[in-house]
Amino acid sequence: MAEVKYILEMMNISKSFPGVKALDGVQLKVRPGSVHALMGENGAGKSTLMKCLFGVYIEDDGEIYLDGQKVKFSNPKQAMDNGVAMVHQELNQVLQRDVMDNIWLGRYPGKNGVIDSKKMLEETEKVFKELDIDVNPKIKMAKLSVSQRQMVEIAKAVSYNAKVLVLDEPTSSLTKQEVDHLFRIINKLRDRGCGIIYISHKMEEILEISDDVTIMRDGKWVDTLSANNLTTDKIIKLMVGRDLTNRFPPKTNKPADVIMEVNNLTGTYEPAVKNVSFKLKKGEILGVAGLVGSRRTELLETIFGIRHHSEGDIKLHGKAVDNKDSRIAIKNGFALLTEERRANGIFGGLDIKFNSIIANIDNYSKFGVLNDKKMNEDTKWTIDSMRVKTPGQKTLIKTLSGGNQQKVIIGRWLLTKPEVLLLDEPTRGIDVGAKYEIYQLIIDLANKGKGVIVVSSEMPELLGICDRILVMSNGRLAGEGKPEDLTQEKIMALAAKYI
């Protein structure tokens, strides 16, 4: 019998939804013992292709071969039982159950209908030891960090003896040290002969970890190349269909007078910011850097009133504002784009129209009657100005790619006409082309006199678009500077100041 060259072959895969052809004759061939990067702009069809592989969607046309055998999975359990596992970007875990339960849920080892807890613990510890994962199998999932939860999900995939493992944006919430650990695990799995499909928008990671790279655009296969023959610029050109010589637009905004002052801000409940003071100017893009746990998100949430503060004050145009909750903050001219868009950013089961106008709903009501024409106009503005890829306003937002969901949320907040825009990881999980559009949008807002604060884990992003950067460490302001005076090394040194 001839040796199987590919552990996975997806041939001529097509999939249509009402109003859109998501996949058009796509191919993906993964070699055993290799890391195969899957790249493309948001809306290119990457997630749809993986859902066809994993049995979430049934492809309209095409064939899938696993170890040379034709397969057609009708649900994820079939896929996992046959050695295909997937770690999703948005982790779906039972947080109130322990780690072991989450790994073995639905397939508990046992005899005569009784769960064998001892064997379950032994098997869990065996997988953890193999992957060098330092997590207590008996601890509740809710007590773990995002990176630990992700490691548990990878361990679960390995426990299925996965032949093919799909990792969707696995490093979007990880520190450099956690990324290094993840890469060590990936290399172990590769050495065992596992085929790993790696989805990420981080070019440097792709070139570091991948053996092969497949690039998709507009639902079609573009090319598959060896990672050794690729550069960041070549990947970008293949993804967007054009040269993108600059990753960041030119900064045309001109910071002017102070628009907001934060004085000695201290949060009421842990984790909290501690004695933070800074000023934000009209037309300024102010970056906030820091490691995981530096409480950058807590700073934005305290300004926006989601978290209460026990000391300090916030002034807008020289006058004190008391953002007791988000509704008051919106009325006061503040807007917050949250980091976890699926958890607390979108209304997944509702359409784009609802998700576009909900923060501005008071402005559509007169004598208790909603102005449907105005709501349709504003939704159209969101779709057009944000360049959202969608069949129409009535499309459920959860069916859009992550980047297009993010664009809708940004459009939603712009409809409230904010004075101060707080953006928490605005380009997380978004491709390079969409990132450029959002950077340009941020600069345009600054040009209109808005004050913009951007929290980001990507230091090149902060250095590329910001006028000034604050560095947080353990809830405190560790330093600040202009991009031209800072380097990634200097930012890291400040970020570790109070740890």
Q: Is the pLDDT of residue 201 over 80?
A: no
Tokens, residue 295: 């409480």
Residue type, 365: S
The pTM score is: 0.64
Averaged confidence pLDDT in the chain: 88
Domains, the chain, in order of start with CATH, read 8-240 (3.40.50.300), 258-495 (3.40.50.300)
Quote the pLDDT of residue 1: 41
Element (H, E) at 61: strand 61-66
Own/partner long-range contacts of 141-149 (Cβ < 8 Å, ≥24 apart):
141/93, 141/94, 141/95, 141/96, 141/97, 141/98, 141/99, 141/102, 142/95, 142/96, 144/99, 145/292, 146/91, 146/173, 146/174, 147/173, 147/174, 147/175, 147/178, 147/181, 147/182, 147/292, 149/91, 149/93
Query: What single DSSP character describes residue 90?
Result: S
Which of the pair, 1 or 260, is modelled with greater confidence? 260
Quote the pLDDT of residue 244: 58
CA distances from 247 to 146, 250, 353, 438 (A): 28, 10, 31, 11
Tokens, residue 13: 């895969």
Q: Is the pLDDT of residue 2 over 70?
A: no
With CA atoms as reference, report the closest residue to 231 among 198, 206, 209: 206
Residue 499 pLDDT class (50, 70, 90 cuts): low
Residue 45 pLDDT class (50, 70, 90 cuts): confident
Rg (alpha carbons) of the chain, rounded to whole number:
24
- Whole-number Å distance between alpha carbons of 170 and 467: 30
